[in-house]
Homo-oligomer: A and B are copies of this chain.
Amino acid sequence: MHIMVDLARHADEGPISLKSVAERQKLSEHYLEQLVPELRKAGLVKSIRGAQGGYVLAKKPENIYIGDVIRVLEGPIAPVECTNQSGEDCCEKTDFCVNREVWVKVRDSINDVVDSISLADLLKDAGNPESEGMNLFEEVD
């Protein structure tokens, strides 16, 4: 999420190196290197190799939903494993199908939320601290 938000925020500056993302987001470059190939394979970012290379969003921030990012990096969003399976495979434990009703509702509700928020929405809500010097959570003193 940090990577994607950072890329969205600097979308007009050409390729963004992981090094600069890591500095701004206070994360290890090596750690980001481990994550970003997944985003690339999933078609969310494009890579430009070599000097002055880096990453750019593959689509406009308006068209990239938080749910896509999460699912790429963490797999299907589900509170329990059996909500990813068809109903028949999951219920050796007698009452689990009763409970499964709950988990399916939870799963759908989570996915509805994350699929309704785009990167553009996030930047809009928060303003752009770096260019405008403001932050939603900044205390006024």
Residues of A within 8 A of B (CB): 1-2, 5-6, 24-27, 66, 79, 87-88, 91-99, 101-102, 105-106, 109-110, 112-114, 117, 122-123, 125-126, 129, 135-137, 139
Contacts and interface: CB of A to CB of B under 8 A. Distances in A.
A87 to B, nearest CB: 5
Contact of A95 (B25, B79, B105): B25
From A66, A98, A122, residue with most partner B Cβ within 10 Å: A98
From A26, A95, A137, residue with most partner B Cβ within 10 Å: A95
A109 B114 CA distance: 11
A133 to B, nearest CB: 14
A110 B117 contact: no
A105 B89 CA distance: 31
Contact of A94 (B24, B95, B114): B24
A94 B138 CA distance: 12
